[in-house]
Amino acid sequence: MSRYRGPRLRICRKLGELPGLTRKISKKQIPAGEHGQRSRKTSEYAMRLEEKQKIRFNYGITEKQLSRYIKIAKKAQGSTGLLLLQILEMRLDNIIFRLGLAPTIPAARQLVNHGHIFVNNKNLNICSYQCKPGDTIRCKNKSCSEKLVQKYLNSPGLVNIPNHLELDKAKLSGKVNGIIERDWVALQLNELLIVEYYSRK
């Protein structure tokens, strides 16, 4: 399945708040669609599917990418759910979003694709690049890039910067100091249900 490009609030009404997808908040509380008001008994499969969809839409990844990340997390030592979240949080587009250099993950992806971002002083246009502790991320030294990032910095998507990241507003740059802790993941979800979803497929 390809990356979602449809109405974002429709997804938020169904799955709840997704800070990485959009900053807008819908005034309507019920799910979108003709049968949104109907109360249904939620099955265990539906619960696991919903948690999986939350992670997919929030981080803007495809089903194929998520399956690959699950396989990587399962092979590594430690909690599969936590490792999955850490892999997603260390993606370049998400790091830019969490630093406040972009208001959403799609906006961060656009910055990367258009060549506005340098990682370790090298121009990088791969959104899925896995950042590592010690990596420095900065804005391109061009007026158009700096104006765009400065505008985003004045109204960040999330107020708090995670403790594993460091931001220098004057230089429009940031640094990765470590791996994110579970408490700092902004998305409200149960990652164990996602692991269960893929283990039962």
Which domain covers residue 37, as residue numbers? 8-85+187-199
| 96 and 171 both lie in a single domain | yes
- Better-predicted residue by pLDDT, 3 or 61: 61
| 102 and 172 both lie in a single domain | yes
Provide the domain count of the chain. 2
| 95 and 68 both lie in a single domain | no
| 141 and 173 both lie in a single domain | yes
Contacts of 30 (CB under 8 A, 6+ apart): 13, 36, 37
pLDDT band at 30, cuts 50/70/90? Answer: low
| 72 and 121 both lie in a single domain | no
| 123 and 173 both lie in a single domain | yes
Spatial contact of 97 and 105, defined as CB atoms under 8 Å apart: yes
Structure tokens at 179: 């791996």
Domain presence at residue 2 = no
| 77 and 95 both lie in a single domain | no
pLDDT confidence of residue 1: 43
CA dihedral defined by 177, 183, 189, 190, rounded to 10 degrees? 100
3-state secondary structure (DSSP) of residue 33: coil
- What pTM, to 2 d.p., does this model score? 0.86
Residue 17 belongs to domain with CATH number: 1.10.1050.10
Distance of alpha carbon 172 from alpha carbon 169, whole angstroms: 5
Q: How far is CA 29 from the centre of its chain?
A: 23
Mean pLDDT estimate for the chain: 86
| 22 and 77 both lie in a single domain | yes
| 97 and 50 both lie in a single domain | no
| 55 and 76 both lie in a single domain | yes
pLDDT digits (tens, 9 = 90+) for 40-94: 667 888 889 999 999 998 998 999 999 999 999 999 988 999 999 999 999 999 9
pLDDT digits (tens, 9 = 90+) for 167-198: 999 899 999 999 999 888 888 888 999 999 98
| 123 and 164 both lie in a single domain | yes
